[in-house]
Structure 1
Amino acid sequence: MLKKIMITLIFALSLLPASAFAHGTSEEHQREMALNTYMLIGSGILFVLLFVLYLVTKNRIKGLVPKVIKWGWILSLVGVLISGGMFLWGNRTSVSAETTLHHIHGLGYSSDGKRIFIPAHDGLRVYSQGQWKTPDGAKHDYMGFSMVDDGFYSSGHPAPGSNLKEPLGIVKSTDEGKTIKALDLAGETDFHGMSVGYKTHTIYVFNPAPNSKMKSPGMYYTKDETKTWVKSEMKGLNEDLSALVVHPSKEAVVTVGTQNGVYVSKDYGQNFENVVSDIQVTSLFFNNEGALFVGGIKKEPLLLQVDVESGKTVEINLPDLKEDAVTYVAQNPVNENELVFATYKKDVYLSGDKGQSWKKIADQGKGIAKTS
């Protein structure tokens, strides 16, 4: 009998579609996992029923019936083995092989510190408890992405088939991207340079060209969710800007980066003064206490923590970034020891000890999930 079972098993495996071992989209994988689960349960029940029936009939009924039941039992056993293997294989590879960060246009934590959000050209990606996921919601191409205490603000471009205008102007979501509210300048401007106060929700933007609310290029801010805009004079700045960040609780404090340093304004961007010199700034981030994190290049990639009041600077240890640099950085709002940053090469690193050690969670845009 064992020989017959092995022959049947090999034959059944040869008929199994190759797609059962392939990697598809997250939605496809969820459907496959559900189907595999139902197959495992159904074949298991059938196996038990046929086995009991075979034991009952084999000594009472002679001829064809017990043989048919016996072969039905063997085939149901094969079904259990195959569906069980498919279930375990699908469960092992369901997340890491499917998550792709086509681009990285921002980085931030949910207010409870449990999820990391990354806008990845075709919607959001979320990292939580060692796993990558694609959340519900339209796959908008978010730019100028800013997480706040009750959701996020962004600009960018609508997903294919969306009824939102192109470009998005400024939008907001309070349900992690499931729904989007258009605030202003829809169909007019895509703000790549944009930052929002984590607690104040004061919005600052670099405006690239005139629009219906902003008559000239430059920096503008709004304290009432885009109802009124004010232009900043930006005195003390004569360089092209590479980064922008707003203080989480002091709406008048805004910081910008350039090819040569970091500048801070305490009067809504009217006047700026230099706080860090001789560094090509690639990213800026304020934590909830107002400490400034600066990613940049000074011969080598570096990450600094800066006190904007005293000017005191502490360098944070980084992994070996070969021909790369920090493009976005964030700190967990409920755990100051947890830091995350992304790079130009679409690598993402996570630290649980404030940079003493780092774990790579995305490699060149491919999500790396915990396997145990």
Structure 2
Amino acid sequence: MKKQRKTIGGLLSLLLLAGCSGEAQDSFEVPFEGEMDHVHGMGYAGNEDGLYFASHTGLKIYREGEWFETTDNFHDYMGFNATDEGFVTSGHPSADSELPNPLGIQRSVDGGKTIEEIAFQGETDFHAMAVGYTSQDLFLINPASNSLLEAGVYSNSAEGESWQPVQADGLEGEVAALALHPADSNLVAAATSTGIYFSKDAGETFQSLTPEGERGTAVHFTEEGLYFGSYGTAAALMQYTVENEELEPLNMPDLPDDAIAFIAENPTDDQELAFYTLQGHAYLSEDGTQNWKALLQNGKPQ
């Protein structure tokens, strides 16, 4: 398969900001026909059928060829991670919410109808945060001191109660995205301004997977390995297999003046892969990246 430009500095700025058939299942969702911007994450959230996009104004959902949006909880979700139970997120509450700002770390198990606090509500907005899809473990960068943590890198086993500092030796550059393996939290990945980094020891040490001068833009773990987006002379989509340490370039649409910001594989169908870009485009492949269809163009549903 084959590997498939604002300036590179502009792309990084966009990245760090980004890192700012059927009817709806119930009345919490209605058809979405507007425009989506400031997406801060995407993924297949738990038992809720569909691909969820965490936008500046709440959740948007692509399901069986149709688009939906929620009728409440228009929170500005940051650090959004889909899990097998729903999703874990940070960010800021909507203008009509009584929740403290920032949200800290919150969890939803009902498609976003309700959220419950895990930790740091009213204290910290976590942009760089990863959650194991099935383990529910957390790995994050704390940007500033709060009631429990100094600034730095930390991991946690599922419930947000016991935080462990992480050395993160070898991790360089400004971190735009983090990813944690679905079940094995020894496997961590990061996309930074200097490349894609991979750890086999729970983030204590990292090694680079990309050539010097290439920027990392997105990371997403599956059971078998790591999908990542990068930008050298053009946007690229790659797959890294953990078992044999092989890198494979994947077919992708042409992305002039753009790069991948988020990647998500359907956990029930390994042929279904989606990504969202810094310029507000989204694409979906249902045949293992051989063919792609546009879901969004400049933030507008297709």
For the aligned pair, the TM-score class normalised by the smaller chain equals 0.7 to 0.9
Aligned residue among 316, 319, 324 for 2:253: 319
The equivalent of 1:286 in structure 2 is 221
Aligned residue among 185, 188, 199 for 2:123: 188
The equivalent of 1:150 in structure 2 is 85
Label 1:112 to 1:277 Cα distance change in 2 as closer, same or farther (>3 A): farther
Instruction: Give distance in 2, aligned partners of 1:251 and 1:327.
Output: 22
Verify the 8 A CA contact 2:31 2:69 in the aligned structure 1: no
Verify the 8 A CA contact 2:48 2:86 in the aligned structure 1: no
**Where does 1:160-239 land on structure 2 (aligned, <5 Å)?**
160-215=95-150, 217-239=151-173
Instruction: Give distance in 2, aligned partners of 1:138 and 1:330.
Output: 23
Verify the 8 A CA contact 2:83 2:132 in the aligned structure 1: yes
Aligned residue among 207, 225, 228 for 1:273: 207
Higher helix proportion: 1
Instruction: Give distance in 2, aligned partners of 1:224 and 1:338.
Output: 27
The equivalent of 1:82 in structure 2 is none
Verify the 8 A CA contact 1:103 1:365 in the aligned structure 2: no
Q: What residue ranges of structure 2 are gaps of 5+ in the alignment?
A: 1-26
Verify the 8 A CA contact 1:193 1:206 in the aligned structure 2: yes
Instruction: Give distance in 2, aligned partners of 1:338 and 1:144.
Output: 23
The equivalent of 2:8 in structure 1 is none
Instruction: Give distance in 2, aligned partners of 1:309 and 1:242.
Output: 26
Verify the 8 A CA contact 1:113 1:332 in the aligned structure 2: no
Instruction: Give distance in 1, aligned partners of 2:107 and 2:46.
Output: 15
Higher strand proportion: 2
C-alpha RMSD of matched pairs (Å) = 1.9
TM-score between the two structures when normalised by the length of structure 2: 0.86
The number of residues matched between the two structures is: 274
Instruction: Give distance in 1, aligned partners of 2:237 and 2:116.
Output: 34
TM-score between the two structures when normalised by the length of structure 1: 0.70
Q: CA deviation at 1:152?
A: 0.3
Verify the 8 A CA contact 2:128 2:175 in the aligned structure 1: no
Q: CA deviation at 1:261?
A: 2.4
Q: Deviations over 1:171-197 (max 9, x none)?
A: 000001000101111111100111100
Label 1:336 to 1:112 Cα distance change in 2 as closer, same or farther (>3 A): farther
Q: What fraction of aligned residue pairs are identical, expressed as a percent?
A: 37
Instruction: Give distance in 2, aligned partners of 1:200 and 1:118.
Output: 22
Instruction: Give distance in 2, aligned partners of 1:116 and 1:238.
Output: 31
Label 1:146 to 1:105 Cα distance change in 2 as closer, same or farther (>3 A): same
Q: CA deviation at 1:135?
A: 2.7
